[in-house]
Amino acid sequence: MSLLVTTASVPEEKKAAFWGEAVSRTLVPVEVVPLADRPFEGRLVSHRLGYLRVSTMKADATRVSRTAGLIARSPQAEPQVGVGVQASGRAVLRQDGRRAEVAEGGLVLYDTARPYSFDYPERFRSHVFQVPRRLLGVPECDIRQAAGTAITSTEGFGAVLLPFLDTLAASAHSYPASVGDRLAGSVADLLIMLVGQLTGPIAADPRTTSNGNLVQRVRDHINGHLGDPELSPELIAQAHHISVRYLHRLFEGEGVTVSRLIQQCRLEACARELARRSRTAPTVSAVAQRWGFVNPAHFSRAFRAAYGMSPREWRASRTVEGTASAPSRSVPAGRQPCAVEQGAMPPQQHGRPICD
């Protein structure tokens, strides 16, 4: 999805206000104060690549401020980690008591969850990249430490990151959704590396990468919504602001598809509950419905295919054996067990706890 906003056809007396509203709608709510002694001119182009927003601003000298009041008035807005790349002109960022002067060809990182201001003392062109902070999996204290530090293309990681971001901004309009999703993941990984360079070593565990954290968030989401019969890859992708195609790509290395993971976790939850010894044991159909199976016949077939016996046979065999353990099944290398494998309580469904 692309967006183009320009002040070209806006009356002179309304240009500044129009620009401020456009930037606030596209990026985050901010206050804009022109610094030039002539009618303000600005042009904003913005594209969405998966969960990454890529925008290019070309405008006259101005001050852009995100105040504590603006942040307080939009408490539901998701915090974003932003990177400003100066394609031309200069910028001065102030955040958390730091002052960073960004020369042409440099970049600076900032956090939209806390107040900041950008001063552009002359006509400028700037690329802005925004990623939801939660998807980086980086501690907030590290983001705070990294924000407000200017990076140039001649030092350290900036020599790799800046040319890539500059090229991406110029071509963001040309990528299909599948490529855009993958590029968003690449940018997030690069930002994690940037924060690591500015704050200290990055752990080698692959689960500290953005994709690893996102996979774990998806698993947690599945475990928390097993009782919802509508749970599907489409709804999961929507809840995490990514495309279904990108969701499936995330799980290519997990040894299981998303749909299969949902069914697997549901079956393991049912098996555990059916093995539970109780004088008031629920019916097999009630157990199946509790964990998201709406078709009893489908549940029976899926259960038999997974465990080699029907749900009733499973319950009877576990009663005879006198155990309430879940079925013993191998877990593929690298796969995290479902929450129900770890003895988690059944999820809530339709706003009320589900209990026996």
For residues 121 and 69, is the Cβ–Cβ distance under 8 A?
no
* Same domain, residue pair 194 and 296: no
Number of domains in the chain: 2
* Same domain, residue pair 190 and 46: yes
Which of 207, 200, 262, 191 minimizes the C-alpha distance to 229?
262
* Same domain, residue pair 190 and 318: no
Last residue of a domain, one of 202, 235, 255: 202
* Same domain, residue pair 187 and 298: no
> How confident is the model at residue 134, as a pLDDT?
86
Residue 295: CATH number of its domain: 1.10.10.60
Last residue of a domain, one of 202, 229, 255: 202
Model pTM above 0.75: no
* Same domain, residue pair 224 and 132: no
* Same domain, residue pair 36 and 146: yes
* Same domain, residue pair 246 and 290: yes
For residues 74 and 29, is the Cβ–Cβ distance under 8 A?
yes
Task: Name, in order, each residue with C-beta under 8 angstroms of 226's C-beta and a sequence gap of 6 or more.
Answer: 262, 265, 266, 269, 291, 292, 340, 346, 347
* Same domain, residue pair 303 and 219: yes
The Cα 299–Cα 284 span in angstroms is 10
Chunked mean pLDDT (size 10), the chain, 356 residues: 90 93 95 90 95 96 95 86 96 94 95 96 97 86 90 84 94 91 90 85 45 81 93 90 81 85 94 82 91 94 92 83 46 49 42 32
* Same domain, residue pair 157 and 227: no
* Same domain, residue pair 145 and 113: yes
Distances in Å between the alpha carbon of 291 and those of 1, 158, 197, 263, 351? Answer: 37, 49, 45, 10, 15
Last residue of a domain, one of 179, 202, 225: 202
Residue 175: CATH number of its domain: 2.60.120.10
Expressed as residue numbers, the domain containing 8 is 2-202
* Same domain, residue pair 300 and 339: yes
* Same domain, residue pair 220 and 263: yes
The Cα 164–Cα 146 span in angstroms is 20
